[in-house]
Structure 1
Amino acid sequence: MSFPSPPPHEPAQNAGPGQPGPAPQPATGAPQPQPQPQNADARYHAYAPHPHAQAPYPQPHFPYPHVPPRPVPVIDGKELRPRARWYWVGGLTILVGTLTAGLVFLGLLFSATAEPELIAEFQGGDSATFQVDEGQEGHWGLYVEGDANRYACELDTPSGPGSGNDNLDTAPFSYSGMAYDSWRLTAELSTPEPGEYVLRCDDVHPGTYGIGTLEQVASAETKLITGTLVLVILGPLSVIAGVATLIVTGVRRSSDRARLVRERMRTAASPQSTP
């Protein structure tokens, strides 16, 4: 037995004003649109925590007590060893040693290059007579100044006149004064016997001739050697000794200061005994 189907639904014609009609229904099987957030804030609040969630408890803060650094003890310089006077010792060693070496060298240099003590002095073309005593063999020398030289001279001995340079030997020492044209030792006068000797020099080479002892020249050479050794040895040794004294003093005083600081910091850190 069949029943008649209901009539199709028609929109109400008499719906009052202000009353909406029934919403249109989507077709069967069509995808349903998803609600979209109106803005970024709405999308953010979609993942926001629950509004009634309980706030986390505040964590208590326990500040650590501030401990100031332990002050470094101040060490008086008078407590350090070796004493500071050793700095003066090192400095004075350098100063005094250097000055002494320089003064000794200059003194010996001027003494060695002083003018020779002559017993006779004459110009070329002239002659000089001198007396030789017993034991003065090899005691006298010929000094020249300017362009004079030994080859212009002859020496007459008590035994007879000389011939050429027979009685003029090579000088055993070297000597020259401070200036280029000062006195120079050029020959040793051969005086093997006591008596009167005559030295004659021609005027081929202009200059001055003189007769003096060889002893002064020998001492002058010794003085030059001694002065040079003093300058070369004493000067550097004084500098080395003074610098070494300064370095050792500084290092030892620094070590002593560090030791005293450690001891006093250790004493300050140890618990004090109560009476």
Structure 2
Amino acid sequence: MYPYGPPPGPPPRIDTRQLRPRRRWFVVAGVIAAVCVGIGIASFVLTLTSAVDSVDDGKAFTSGQSVTLRIGPDDDAAIYVHGPFVTRAHCEIASGPPDSAPRVTTPDSSFTVTRGSVEWERVFVIKTDTAADYRVLCDDPRGALTFAPGDDADFASFVGGILVTVVVPLVGLLAATGVAIIVGVRRGRHRRWLEAQAYYGYRGPPARNSR
């Protein structure tokens, strides 16, 4: 005899299709994570490709020689140097339109690119207000350096690309984890509410759940 009635039976079987929020929110969390990781990978590849392609080593020349470049006001032209004592390198505009005012300056930050086994350092940036062909002459006291034209790599953009590579996947994974945890907790609460209904006929409103 049971003074308070027989013990309750086994837990009722709850159809998972009844639970809210729906399981599709787990899929949404997975999609968020996958997209953000994909963006990070694409950013990493594009950043490295852009950096490596900033040096045109196919037009490399030795100390005392020159290269002709087509440069416009909106172009970011640069000279990269390979060899020891790159600080002793010197480049100047040997020829160009008489009405132009090209400038060869030293960049504010250092930037190094490795292509194969060769390391190139950006040493000079070339600016002009007139689009034309310019002959750039470069040399060094020892005649030991090798020069190559290229693009003025934006260090800030490079760092920004690396940040995107790291931050976007991290944020995506955190967001996906948060969504999965919230959905799991709410589904658990909803399951307990359905079980209470089956046991005791409780008719109160369920915990608030998304569809």
TM-score by length of 2: 0.71
1:241 correspondence with 2:157: no
Offset at residue 253 of structure 1 (A) = 0.8
Letter matched to residue 44 of structure 2: F
The question of whether the paired residues in 2 share the 8 Å contact of 1:138 and 1:188 is answered with no
**Structure 1 residues 99 and 205: alpha-carbon distance in aligned structure 2, compared to 1, 3 A threshold:** same
Q: Which has the larger radius of gyration?
A: 1
Q: Which residue of 1 aligns with 2:148?
A: 210
1:70 correspondence with 2:8: yes
Q: Of 254, 266, 273, which residue of structure 1 is paired with 2:188?
A: 254
The question of whether the paired residues in 2 share the 8 Å contact of 1:113 and 1:176 is answered with no
Offset at residue 121 of structure 1 (A) = 2.5
**Structure 1 residues 189 and 73: alpha-carbon distance in aligned structure 2, compared to 1, 3 A threshold:** closer
Q: Of 88, 113, 121, which residue of structure 2 is paired with 1:184?
A: 121
The question of whether the paired residues in 2 share the 8 Å contact of 1:120 and 1:212 is answered with no
The question of whether the paired residues in 1 share the 8 Å contact of 2:55 and 2:148 is answered with no
1:153 correspondence with 2:87: no
Letter matched to residue 112 of structure 2: S
Q: Which residue of 1 aligns with 2:100?
A: none
The question of whether the paired residues in 1 share the 8 Å contact of 2:61 and 2:67 is answered with no
| SS of residue paired to 2:107 | coil
Q: Of 48, 55, 68, which residue of structure 2 is paired with 1:109?
A: 48
The question of whether the paired residues in 2 share the 8 Å contact of 1:104 and 1:227 is answered with yes
Give the Cα–Cα distance (whole angstroms) in 2 for the partners of residues 131 and 227 of structure 1.
28
Give the Cα–Cα distance (whole angstroms) in 1 for the partners of residues 133 and 2 of structure 2.
114
**Structure 1 residues 171 and 117: alpha-carbon distance in aligned structure 2, compared to 1, 3 A threshold:** same
Offset at residue 170 of structure 1 (A) = 0.9
The question of whether the paired residues in 1 share the 8 Å contact of 2:33 and 2:176 is answered with yes
Deviations 1:139-160 (A, max 9, x none): 542211122625343525449x
Offset at residue 80 of structure 1 (A) = 0.8
Offset at residue 231 of structure 1 (A) = 2.5
| SS of residue paired to 2:68 | strand
Give the Cα–Cα distance (whole angstroms) in 2 for the partners of residues 156 and 110 of structure 1.
29
Give the Cα–Cα distance (whole angstroms) in 1 for the partners of residues 177 and 189 of structure 2.
18
Offset at residue 265 of structure 1 (A) = 1.8
**Structure 1 residues 198 and 103: alpha-carbon distance in aligned structure 2, compared to 1, 3 A threshold:** closer
| SS of residue paired to 1:237 | helix
| SS of residue paired to 2:6 | coil
Q: Which residue of 2 aligns with 1:89?
A: 28
Q: Which runs of 5+ in 1 are unaligned?
A: 1-62, 160-166, 269-275
Q: Of 57, 65, 69, which residue of structure 2 is paired with 1:127?
A: 65
**Structure 1 residues 150 and 69: alpha-carbon distance in aligned structure 2, compared to 1, 3 A threshold:** same
Q: Which runs of 5+ in 2 are unaligned?
A: 97-102, 203-211
Aligned residue pairs total 193
| SS of residue paired to 2:191 | helix
Give the Cα–Cα distance (whole angstroms) in 1 for the partners of residues 44 and 91 of structure 2.
38
Higher RCO (CA < 8 A, seq sep 6+): 2
The question of whether the paired residues in 1 share the 8 Å contact of 2:138 and 2:147 is answered with no
Between Structure 1 and Structure 2, the one with more helix by share is: 2
Offset at residue 263 of structure 1 (A) = 1.5
Deviations 1:20-74 (A, max 9, x none): xxxxxxxxxxxxxxxxxxxxxxxxxxxxxxxxxxxxxxxxxxx668953222322
Q: Which residue of 2 aligns with 1:30?
A: none
TM-score by length of 1: 0.57
